[in-house]
């Protein structure tokens, strides 16, 4: 679990500003997932990425939110023109290349990034 | 109706008690995870199950694929077990989301 690094841990933004959250997956993991946890609610899947590819973004709001996982560097979740409703904890997780074996389903979470919009 | 339902939502117990947290799901899955989240903290994966039973220390997780049900047990509970326990399933992808579907969590408080 300690291998998935997220930063910043806490971020405060004013309404209308941009928020950028970064995630470095565990070494050797090429699959990254972003989840959002709203206050008093469960975690919700947002987007699933591989290097340079968005595999599934069905959980991501259509506007203001974007994600990337470049060939070099961390995955970035970007929220433009933040609103109060974006205040939440954003978790990144990574997994090895999924295969037929159970190990392919192992998933590791980062410590989360807490975004507060004021 | 959520695809993943946990019960109870909140549980307060005395130190030493045997704890059971339940998870029911309504979709076909390839794996089920039990996760632990401490207040203000990150998420730790406790177990990943696709069948049967797993044990780690005082924690035991079971799954019944036919009944679409899993349980997490804590024996000899301790105040440091106080946390939110989250059940998450990995649905068969079939071209859809490849992420996890989560329950809302069970808030467990163990009193000394």
> Is A99 a residue whose pLDDT tops 50?
no
Looking at the complex, report in whole angstroms how far the Cα of residue A90 sits from the nearest Cα belonging to chain B.
10
Structure tokens at A64: 């203001």
Please indicate if any CB of chain A lies within 8 Å of the CB of B60: no
- Residue B18's SS3 state is coil
Q: Which of B109, B107, B97, B104 is nearest to B29 (CA)?
A: B97
The span from the first CA to the last CA of chain B, in angstroms, equals 36
Question: Residue A97 has what pLDDT?
Answer: 67
Comparing B101 with B74, the larger pLDDT belongs to: B74
B32 contact residues in A (CB cutoff 8 A): none
Mean pLDDT of A33-57: 89
Mutating which of A105, A110, A112 best tests the B interface, going by the most B Cβ atoms within 10 A?
A105
Give φ, ψ of A103 to 5 degrees: -60, -25
Q: What are phi and psi of B99, to 5 degrees?
A: -95, -165
Please state the separation of Cα A50 from the chain's center in Å.
12
Best-predicted range by mean pLDDT (A8-22, B35-49, B87-101):
A8-22
Query: What mean pLDDT comes out for the span A55-84?
Result: 94
pLDDT at B92: 76
Q: What is the pLDDT of residues B18-34, one digit of tens each?
A: 999 999 999 888 889 99
Q: Which of A41, A91, A106 sits opposite B104 (nearest CB)?
A: A41
Cβ of B99 within 8 Å of Cβ of A111? The answer is: no
Question: Which residues of chain B have a CB within 8 Å of the CB of A106?
Answer: 45, 48
Compute the average pLDDT of residues B51-63. Answer: 95
CA distance A23 to A35: 12
Task: Tell me the nearest-neighbour CA distance from B79 into chain A, angstroms.
Answer: 22
Q: Is the dihedral of CA A42, B107, A108, B59 positive or negative?
A: negative
User: What does pLDDT average to over chain B?
Assistant: 89
The verdict on a CB contact (< 8 Å) between A43 and B102 is: yes
What is the residue-averaged pLDDT of chain A? 88
Q: How far is CA B100 from the centre of its chain?
A: 13
Instruction: Give dist(CA B85, CA A34) in Å, integer.
Output: 19
B44 to chain A, any CB pair closer than 8 A? The answer is: yes
As a whole number, mean pLDDT of residues B41-69 equals: 92
pLDDT value of residue B77: 97
SS (H, E, C) A44-82: EEEEEEECCEEEECCCCCCCCEEEECCCCCCEEEEECCC
How wide is the angle at C-alpha A49 spanned by C-alphas A45 and A53, nearest 5°?
145
Return the percentage of chain A with pLDDT > 90, whole number.
60
Q: What is the pLDDT of residue A102?
A: 43
Answer yes or no: do A42 and B105 touch at CB < 8 A.
yes
Report the residue of A40, A107, A115 to disrupt the B interface, i.e. the one with the largest count of B CBs within 10 Å.
A107
Peptide bond into B8 cis (omega under 30): yes
């Amino acid at each position: 679990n300690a291998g998935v690094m997220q930063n910043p841990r806490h971020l405060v933004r004013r309404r209308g500003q941009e928020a950028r959250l970064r995630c470095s997956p565990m070494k050797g993991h090429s699959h990254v997932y972003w989840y959002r946890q709203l206050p008093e609610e469960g975690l919700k899947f947002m987007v699933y990425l591989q290097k340079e590819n968005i595999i599934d973004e069905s959980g991501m709001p259509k506007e203001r939110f974007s994600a990337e996982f470049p060939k070099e560097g961390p995955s970035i979740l970007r929220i433009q023109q933040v609103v109060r409703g974006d205040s939440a904890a954003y978790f990144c997780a990574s997994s090895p290349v999924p295969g037929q074996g159970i190990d392919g389903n192992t998933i590791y979470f980062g410590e989360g990034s807490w975004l507060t919009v004021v | 109706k959520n695809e993943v339902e946990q019960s109870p939502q909140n549980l307060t117990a005395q130190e030493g008690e045997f704890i059971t947290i339940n998870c029911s799901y309504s979709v076909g899955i390839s794996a089920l995870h039990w996760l632990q989240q401490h207040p203000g903290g990150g998420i730790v994966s406790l177990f990943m199950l696709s069948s049967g039973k797993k044990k780690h220390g005082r924690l035991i997780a079971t799954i019944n694929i036919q009944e679409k049900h899993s349980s997490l047990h804590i024996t000899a509970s301790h105040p440091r077990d106080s946390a939110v326990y989250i059940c998450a399933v990995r649905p068969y992808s079939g071209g859809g989301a490849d992420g996890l579907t989560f329950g809302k969590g069970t808030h467990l408080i163990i009193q000394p």
